[in-house]
Chains A and B, each alone.
Chain A
Amino acid sequence: MILHEETVYEALDHAHGGEGHWAFGTGFDEPLAGVDTTVPEGIDPADLGAYCLMLGDDALVLAQRLTQWVTAAPELEEEVAIGNTALDLLGQARLLLARAGSVGVLGRSRTLATDSIPDEDALAYFRDPDEFRNTGLVAAENGDFGQTVVRLLVASTVRLAVFARLRESRDPVLAAIAAKGVNELAYHRDHAARWVLRLGDGTAESHRRVQAGVDAVWPHLADLFTATDVERRLTEAGVAVDPADVREEVVSVLTQVLDQATLRVPEWPADTPPRSRTGEHGPELSALLETLQGLARRHPAATW
C-alpha cells in the first residue's frame, strides 16, 4: 500500500471541512442520533430512566477507574487492553445516559447545565454524588493491578449476565444497547479472567497479592443481588433484570475462575439492601467525581 506524501500534506492544508481528506471519519458522535426513542406502552419512563442511570453510572465510574491505569499499566499491550475496556464502558455509559435523558430523567442536572450541553454530559457532569446510582463495587479504589483485575472480573461477570438477559428487554433501545454490549463484556470478562489465572498461578508473590485483591473486592458483592424497587417493577414489566436472577451464574463463573487460579474463594457475604443504588456512597465516589466534573463545572456555559 502506497501513501503518497503530497496527498497527506495537502489534506493538512485543508484542515477545515472535507471528510475525504482524512483517513477516517471523525466518529464519536451523538450516541443516540437517528434512534427512535419512543417508550413502549406500559413502561414508566421515570423508572426506565432511573434504571438506565444505574447501568450507565456503573459503566461511567468503572471506565474512570480503569482510565487511572493509563500510562501506569504493566505492559504496553495492557495499556491498550485496559484503555479499550474503558473506552467500551464509556461508550455504554454514553448510550445509557442519553437514553435516560431521552425519557426525561435528568434530575437537578438540567438546571445547572447550559442548554447546549447534551443530556449525557448534563447527567455525567452536573449531578452530585447522591444522584449517582452506581454500585460500591465500581466506585472502590483500584488497589494494585491484581485487585484491579479481580474487580474487573467481578464487575464484567455481573454485567455480562445482566446484559445477556436485557437483549430481550421490552424497551428496544435498552435491548439494542445490551446486544452491542454483550460482545464487549465477554471480552472484558475473558481478559480479566486470564489475568486472574496468571497471577493466581504465577509466582508466590503474585498469588499472595491477587488473593489479597479477592479478599478486598469480595465484601462489595453484598449489595449487588438485591433489587431496588425500580428494578422490581421494571422486571415485572419485562424491561429490566432482577439482579437476584443472575446470582447463581455469577457465583458459578467466579468460583470456577478462582479455583482454576488456585485461589481461595472467600465466604460469600450476606445480602444487604442496595444502598449505593439509591444514592448512598462513600467519599471515594465524591473524590472521583470531583476530578471527572471539575473542569466542566468551572465553565457551565461552555460547550466542548
Chain B
Amino acid sequence: MSAPTLERPAPDETALQQRFDATIAADRRIEPRDWMPEGYRRTLVRQIAQHAHSEIIGMQPEGDWLLAAPSLRRKAILLAKVQDEAGHGMYLYSAAETLGADRADLTDKLIESKQKYSSIFNYPTLTYADVGVIGWLVDGAAICNQVPLCRSSYGPYARAMIRICKEESFHQRQGYELLMTMMRGTPAQRAMVQDAVDRWWWPSLMMFGPPDDDSPNSAQSMAWGIKRHSNDELRQRYVDMSVPQAQFLGVTLPDPDLRFDEESGHWRFGAIDWEEFKRVVSGHGPANAERLRRRRAARDDNAWVTEAATAYAAKHAGTAAGSAA
C-alpha cells in the first residue's frame, strides 16, 4: 500500500466512502444522517429541487382551467389534482431539506432562473382537452420517469416517490377518462382532443431529457443509484406504452415515421427536434416568463403574510395558534 497523498480522502473518510459504496452496491438506502460524498448530495439536491419546482410550476397550466372547468365533477377532479401537485412539491422540498437545503432558498433559485423545472410546463393549455392530454401523456411520461425513482438510493426521495407515483397514476387515469368521454362527444370535442395530442406529443417525448449520448450527468447518477434507467430506455418504454393507448382512444399521434418493429417488439419513432427542447428549457418557451412571473408574484405579493405569521409565532411561542403558524 502506498502512502496517502493529498488528493485522496483522509483515512476515516476512506472508511466512510467504503461504507457508502457498499450500501449502494448492496442496493440499500442512504439515509439523511449517513455520510455521503458531496457530489452525491449536490446531485440529489439539484434533481429533487428541479422535480419539486416542476410540481409547483406544473400547477399553473392546468390551474388555468380550474375556474372554467365545464362540469362540477371535472372541476372537483382538477382541483384535487392541482392540490396533489402542491402536496408533491411539499414532500419533495422536504426531501431536499433532509440534505441541508432550504425551501425558501430553493424557491428563490427557481424564481431567479438559477434552477430549472420540466420544460413541458412552458407550453400553454389552449382548450379543456389539454387538461386530459396532460393527464394522459405528461403524467404518463412523468410516471415512466418516476417509478424507477421509487428505488432510488436516497431513502427520503424513494419514499416520497412511492406516494407521488400512486397519485400520478390516479391522475393519468382521470386524464385518459376525460379524453375517452370527449371522444364519445361532439365533433368539436373530438377535434379538440386531436389538436391537443398534436401539440403535446413531441414535448412529452422531450420530458425524458436529451439522448443518452448527450446526457452529461447520467452516468454518475446511474452509478450512484439515483437514476435507474437511461433517458432513451425510458422514452422507448413510454412510446411503447402510449401507442396502443392512442389507438384505443382513436387519435393519431403526429409522427409519420411511427411504426412497429416486429424484430425488436418496439414502436420506432421519428426524430425529436432537440433545438426546440434547448430553446424551451433555456427559458424561451411560449410560457416561461409567465410561469416565473406568477411564482414570483405569489412570493412577493404575500411576503407581508409570511412576515406576519413569523412575527406572530415569535410573540406566541408555545401557544396553539403560534405553533401552527
Show the binding face of A for B, using Cβ within 8 Å. Answer: 1, 3, 5, 8-9, 11-13, 15-16, 22-24, 26-29, 60, 64, 67-68, 70-77, 79-80, 83-84, 86-87, 90-91, 93-94, 97, 117-118, 120-121, 124-125, 144-146, 194, 197-199, 201-203, 205-206, 209, 291-292, 294-296, 299, 301-304
Contact = CB atoms under 8 A, between A and B. Distances in A.
A194 B312 CA distance: 11
Contact of A121 (B72, B181, B248): B72
A201 B315 contact: yes
22 contacts: A3-B150, A3-B166, A12-B140, A27-B77, A28-B77, A70-B63, A71-B63, A72-B297, A75-B306, A83-B82, A87-B80, A87-B83, A93-B72, A94-B72, A120-B72, A125-B70, A145-B305, A206-B307, A209-B304, A291-B67, A299-B186, A304-B73
Contact of B59 (A71, A146, A201): A71
Given A91-B76, A304-B178, A296 B70 contact: yes
A12 B167 contact: no
Contacts of A124: 72
Contact of A67 (B66, B128, B245, B248): B66
Interface residues of B, number: 77
- Pick the 9 closest A-B CB pairs, nearest first: A202-B308, A206-B308, A74-B302, A23-B166, A198-B312, A79-B86, A74-B305, A83-B83, A296-B70
B182 interface: yes
B270 interface: no
Nearest to B322: A198
Contacts of B306: 74-75
Contact of B147 (A8, A84, A201): A8
Nearest to B302: A74
B170 A24 contact: yes
A80 B82 CA distance: 9
B68 A194 contact: no
B143 A8 contact: yes
Contacts, number: 198
Interface of B: 56, 59-60, 63, 66-77, 79-80, 82-83, 86-87, 89-90, 93, 128, 136, 140, 143-144, 147-148, 150-151, 162, 165-167, 169-170, 172-174, 176-178, 180-182, 185-186, 188-189, 237, 241, 244-245, 248, 294, 297-298, 301-302, 304-309, 311-313, 315-316, 321, 324-325
A12 B189 CA distance: 24
A87 B76 contact: yes
B147 A67 contact: no
A8 B308 contact: no
A76 B90 CA distance: 7
Nearest to A120: B72
A15 B72 contact: no
B215 to A, nearest CB: 21
Nearest to A23: B166
Q: Which of B76, B180, B181, B307 has the most CB of A within 10 A?
A: B76
Contacts of A144: 301
Given A8-B169, A9-B241, A87-B80, 12 more contacts: A15-B176, A15-B245, A22-B170, A70-B79, A70-B82, A73-B298, A80-B87, A87-B76, A198-B313, A205-B304, A294-B68, A302-B186
A143 to B, nearest CB: 12
Contacts of A86: 79
A194 B165 contact: no
A294 B128 CA distance: 12
A79 B308 CA distance: 17
A121 B316 CA distance: 46
B248 A5 contact: no
Contacts of B73: 28-29, 94, 121, 304
Given A295-B68, A295-B70, A12 B241 contact: yes
B304 A5 contact: no
